Amino acid sequence: MIHFIKYKKSLLCIGSFMLFSFALAGQNIQNTDTIAIDSIKLTDQVDKLASKIDKEINLGFRKDKTRNAVGAVSSIEPNQFLKYDNTQWVRDALYGKITGLKYSDNIRGLGDAMIVVDGIPGRSIDLLNMEEIQEITILKDASAVALYGSMGKNGVIVVTTKRGSNKTEFNVSASTGIKNPISMPKYLNSAEYMQYYNEARLNDGLSPIYSDQDIANFSSGVNPYRYPDVDFYSNDYFKSQASFTNVIADFSGGIKDTRYYINVGFKSDRSLQDVSDNDKGTTRFNVRGNIDFRINDWITSSLDAVAIIEQNKSSLANLYSAGQTFKPNLYAPLLPIDLIDFTGNPNLQGTVEAANKYNGFILGGNQSYSDNVPLAQIFGGGRQTSMTRISQVNNSIDFDLSSITEGLSAKTYLSFDFYNRYNLTVNNEFAIYQPTWSDDNKIIDLVNVGSPDRVGQEEEVETNTFTIRYGFYGLINYEKQLKEDHLLKASLIGFFNHTHERNVQQADKNSNAALSLNYSFKNKFLLDINTSYVHSIKLAEGNRGKLAPTLGLAYVLSEEPLFKNLTWLNYLKIRSSAGIVYSDLGIPGYFLYDAIYRQNEGNYYWGDHYGLSSSNGYTKIDRGQNNSLGMEKRVDFNLGFEGLVFDKLWVEANYFRSTLEDKVTRVSTVYPEYYNAFRPYSNYNEELRSGFEFGVTYFDKIGEVGMNIGARVLHTASELTKVDEVYADEYQYRKGTEIDAYWGLQSLGFFTLDDFNTDGTLKDGVPTQFGSVQPGDIKYRDVNNDGVVNDQDQVVIGRWDAPWTFGADIKLNYKSFTLFTLLTAQTGSDAMVSNSYYQPQGGDKYSEIVRGRWTEATAEIATFPRLSSIENTNNFGQTSDFWMYDNSNFKIERVQLTYDLPKTWVSNLNMEDFSVYASGSNLLMLANNKDIKQLSLGYAPSYRYYSLGLRVKF
């Protein structure tokens, strides 16, 4: 709860719709207030769209207006949408909302983009909440990312946090809600598992191990402790829902020479596991302080500090993982005391009295599975707390050097980050008991197959991760207006970043120097020339630096008389850029240019005379030397436009083409086979990525309904254009195929009885497969018709990266209500199932998937191979399209309904704005394979979230 005190009265604000209901019930709200609010909303929408042209955006090392940006960039400001789309997870806020952004941090399919927070590269957006962010800018093409050198290879996401102003502000955002698991794993019950496992053994020519009476006993349910049916994913162990809470407050203000911004947040995410009080879930506390102050007339400075403490409290076992292997008939993990018969066993009373009790139960077990006791670990094993502590500090100093020459300025930026993750563990020893049952289903004896019960006295500390990062950059800027038509800007940048991780000998280091020249003629012809000198310590001395130039041109056509007279055209700019980005990010290690020799790897022998041999140790070479090993090179081209028409419709589009040359690999095709061990790392392979992006935003009003609709589409294509490879068959060459191609075998269904001779061997003309096969095993295509199915029959069977991605956001407002919806979609990609849930073999636990197994009776409708109790390399050891599924989907990501309280009410409460909302996320997925996509295995499930919240601004 949050308290606001005014005139000695207190208003209790709770994240619910109580106040909302009161506002609707019997209050005399004047229509003029509603009309005014509605009018303001529409006016603000139109103004925001028109002002987008002249809005100043952060381009990384400098700021400029949208109309003056030459590179391909997109930006969003959370203040413009958080009220109606109150997600605090930065990745969620980006997904589907940015033209050219695939998922949440992949720009144009190039890979994970570099994150820059307040000028600091390498920081994580997962540490931020959306309330503390002023702007997020996406830098896409080579011209836009050039100044970041090597680290900008895959594009850059620039995050700018909020700063204070002279106006004092206080804002609160609070929400609470529930999360429901969308899907949980479904395994066979005990009796069904036993039946299917017997069938698997029969298929292998082995005798069943479960008798019909055993199966009947487990099926009857007469005694679930003697004949258990354990399902760790049931409501016995997991709640049907869990709660979460998020509260964020920020303060800002200032006086003449000092401004401040403070953000404080608390987040609680409760655990779904419902066995022990130790499973509390995750709590997170964060605080940010940004201070700007003036030192004198020509020097200003800023000091930013961030502290984050996150802890997860849990038991020592995770049922998400344990449930994958714990068979339903293994043993009963809990034994009820009321089923113990103490007569005739004088020692049994003492055994039970000494045992730890858990709500009328003691811990059950089996001597054969004494290492597989997940529930006992949860009840009696102890507890653990995973702690994460993060601190970040950065300082900038800005120098106004106009006293030297007008337009000259400089800036220095120094930063330090500390990341520490460790576990606090209390380990208990505990007893588990194997029961002996009587004929009347009573426990008549207990044998301790564990350890004596003992509570751990000390908390053990284990440090998992400790990382230190520090960096510096210096910047000199010069800006000069030449007469009235010419504007020249120049920047000289020096940059260094160092990251060291505990127990890792070699630190990651990045450094580069860059020069940026920007020219503008009459604010309509724009020229960017950026050159970066990239340095890499991954390469040999004398070969560590590269000069990477880029060139960008833009033309604001709407400033020309021919277009200026078009009343419907408000703004139109075309742009193009080309350039090179050198990077060492793709080099998979340090000192790869060096040769590696290993001594004393064996002995060689020679005979000096009859009957006597001598030997000596030899040195083995693992890799040859190549001091010419260089950086990878991204060659980039971009052509696009952006415009505004009818004061309502914003359009932007880009075509892009990016080649990645000189990829590092150990080339084999240019050396003879006997030279294999001497092969050095070299620059050889090449890749091509191309595509287009298109985005529109539309504002309008129909009657009393205002609308804001945005839509985006991204298409990406890729190709391996040069590959170090040699294959016997032409169809196996990777060159010319997609970078993200799945290579595997083509399945032809299942073997049938007609494929075999009476002695069980394959008939003539049926290609041999992997190992011994039977009817019901997967049958693969012999692509090269050599009579044997092997790796030489692998072809392209799919691709894992979606070539088409879509995003759309719809905001509709009617009077004081606003409805927001975010939609996403992707198509054209595939995915594989590989977990034992989908591919159980040998002694693995059986999921519901095996119900579709092949038998002679189900041969025509079977969806799963025959069952086997031994390892089956033919069915489960191969990559094939049998295990592939279509990964296309359409999703309703989020929906939020917001109500703005009347302005008169808000003013009377001494507030500037007050809104309440109800929201849901991850609400709906439409997909052919929705059940597979929504199922998580071995860890927490996918959730559907529902929340109520409020936002208050003073």
pLDDT band of residue 54 (cuts 50, 70, 90) is confident
3-state secondary structure of 702: strand
Give the separation between CA 822 and CA 802, rounded to whole angstroms. Answer: 19
The partner residues of 258 in beta bridges, in order of sequence, read 293
Closest CA to 130 of 73, 72, 81, 202: 81
Q: What are the structure tokens assigned to 273, written together?
A: 């596991």
Measured CA distances, 940 to 849, 923, 927 (Å): 20, 17, 21
In tens, the pLDDT along 273-289 reads: 989 889 999 999 999 99
| Dist CA 369 CA 365 (whole Å) | 7
Six-digit token string for 940: 């927490």
For residues 534 and 507, the answer to whether their CB atoms sit within 8 Å is no
pTM (global) more than 0.85: yes
What is the rounded distance in angstroms from the CA atom of residue 613 to the CA atom of residue 607? 4
In 815-954, where do the E strands start and end? 817-827, 830-832, 884-886, 889-900, 913-926, 943-953
List Cα–Cα distances, 803 to 689, 718, 830, in angstroms. Answer: 11, 9, 11
Whether the Cβ atoms of residue 420 and residue 466 lie closer than 8 Å to each other? yes
Q: Residue 669: left (phi > 0), alpha (psi -120 to 50), or beta? A: alpha
Report the pLDDT value the prediction gives residue 69, as an integer from 0 to 100. Answer: 94
Read off the tokens for 211. 């008798």
Nearest to 273 by CA among 221, 217, 234, 227: 234
Nearest alpha-carbon partner for 643 in 50, 43, 46: 50
103 to 128, 353, 731: CA distances (angstroms): 18, 57, 32
In terms of Cβ atoms closer than 10 Å to its own Cβ (0-12, 13-18, 19+), residue 598 is exposed
Please state which of the ranges 31-35, 165-169, 797-801 shows the lowest mean pLDDT: 31-35
Furthest CA-CA distance within the chain: 117
Q: Which amino acid is at 677?
A: A
Averaged pLDDT, 629-650? 96
How confident is the model at residue 747, as a pLDDT? Answer: 97
Confidence category of residue 678, pLDDT binned at 50, 70, 90? confident
Distance of CA 651 to the CA centre of its chain: 29
Encoding tokens for residue 179?
A: 């999360």
Strand partners, 714: 693, 805
In the 3-class helix/strand/coil scheme, how is 926-945 assigned residue by residue? ECCCHHHHCCCCCCCCCEEE
Q: How confident is the model at residue 22 (pLDDT cuts 50, 70, 90)?
A: very low
How far is Cα 849 from Cα 847, in angstroms, rounded to an integer? Answer: 5
Lowest mean pLDDT among 25-39, 129-143, 152-166, 906-920: 25-39
Q: Concatenated DSSP letters for 414-442?
A: EEEEEEEEEEEEEEPB---EEEEE-TTS-
Determine the Cα–Cα distance for residues 175 and 598; give it in Å rounded to an integer: 61
- The pLDDT, as a whole number, for residue 49 is 58
Q: What is the DSSP annotation of 571-584?
A: EEEEEEEEEEEEE-
**Three-state secondary structure string covering 382-411:** EEEEEEEEEEEEEEEEEEECCCCCCCEEEE
DSSP state of 745: B
Alpha helices in 599-754 (DSSP H): none
At the top level of CATH, which class does the domain 2-177+901-922 belong to? mainly beta
930 phi and psi angles, rounded to 5 deg: -60, -40
**Can you give the pLDDT at residue 608?**
55
pLDDT at 47: 52
pLDDT higher than threshold 70 for residue 20: no
Dist. CA 854–CA 866, nearest whole Å: 5
In one-letter notation, the amino acid at residue 460 is E
What CA–CA distance (Å, rounded) separates 877 from 184? 26
Packing angle of the helix pair 212-220, 190-203 (nearest 10 deg): 160
Identity (one letter) of the amino acid at 374?
A: P
The secondary structure element, H or E, covering residue 60 is none
Q: Is-contact 778 744, C-beta < 8 A?
A: no
* Number of other residues whose CB lies within 10 A of the CB of residue 195: 18
pLDDT band at 51 (very low <50, low <70, confident <90, very high): low
DSSP conformation class of 767: P
Structural contact between residues 180 and 947, judged by C-beta atoms closer than 8 angstroms: no
Residue 791 zone, left/alpha/beta (φ > 0; ψ -120 to 50; rest): alpha
Is residue 155 a contact partner of residue 284, using CB atoms and an 8 Å limit? no
DSSP type of residue 340? B
Residue 734, classed as helix, strand or coil, is coil
pLDDT at 611 over 70: no
DSSP 880: B
Helices (H), 228-369: 319-322, 348-354
pLDDT band at 615 (very low <50, low <70, confident <90, very high): low
pLDDT at 824: 97
Contact 579, 636 (CB under 8 A): yes
Q: What pLDDT sits at residue 18?
A: 32
Token duo for residue 224 = 């679930």
Which phi and psi angles does 20 have, rounded to 5°? -60, -45
233-243 pLDDT, tens per residue? 999 999 999 99
Distance CA 142, CA 552 (A): 9
Length of the chain: 954
State which amino acid sits at residue 602: G
Mark residue 100 as left, alpha or beta (left: phi above 0; alpha: psi -120 to 50; beta: remaining): left
Residue 703: count other Cβ atoms within 10 Å of its Cβ.
6
Q: Residue 342, Cα to own-chain centre: how many angstroms?
A: 56
Distance CA 737, CA 598 (A): 38
Q: What is the mean pLDDT of residues 123-152?
A: 94
Q: Please tell me which residue, 30 or 68, carries the higher pLDDT value.
A: 68
Write the DSSP symbol of residue 904: H
Q: What is the pLDDT of residues 715-727, one digit of tens each?
A: 999 999 999 999 9
Q: Three-state SS string across 595-634, please?
A: CEEECCCCEEEEEEECCEEEEEECCEEEECCCCCCCCEEE
With vertex at residue 142, the alpha carbon angle to CA 139 and CA 147, rounded to the nearest 5 degrees, is: 75
3-state helix, strand, coil in the chain (%, to 5): 15, 45, 40
Whole-angstrom distance, CA of residue 712 vs CA of residue 730: 39
User: Where do we find the tokens 């330090």?
Assistant: 416
- Residue 79 CA, chain-centre distance (Å), reads 24
The 10s digit of each residue's pLDDT in 429-465 is 899 999 999 999 999 999 998 888 787 667 788 878 8
State mean pLDDT over 383-400.
95
Residues whose CB falls within 8 Å of the CB of residue 253, separated by 6 or more in sequence, listed in order: 164, 165, 166, 167, 168, 169, 259, 260
Number of continuous H segments (helices) and E segments (strands) in the chain: 13, 47
Of 632, 532, 520, give the one whose Cα is nearest residue 584: 632
Question: Residue ranges per domain, the chain?
Answer: 2-177+901-922, 182-465
In angstroms, rounded to a whole number, what is the distance separating the alpha carbons of residues 837 and 937?
Answer: 8
Instruction: Report residue 873's pLDDT band, with 50, 70 and 90 as the boundaries.
Output: very high
Indicate the average pLDDT of the chain.
Answer: 90
Residue 331 or 33, more confident: 331
Please give the helix or strand (H or E) that residue 269 lies within, else none.
strand 258-269
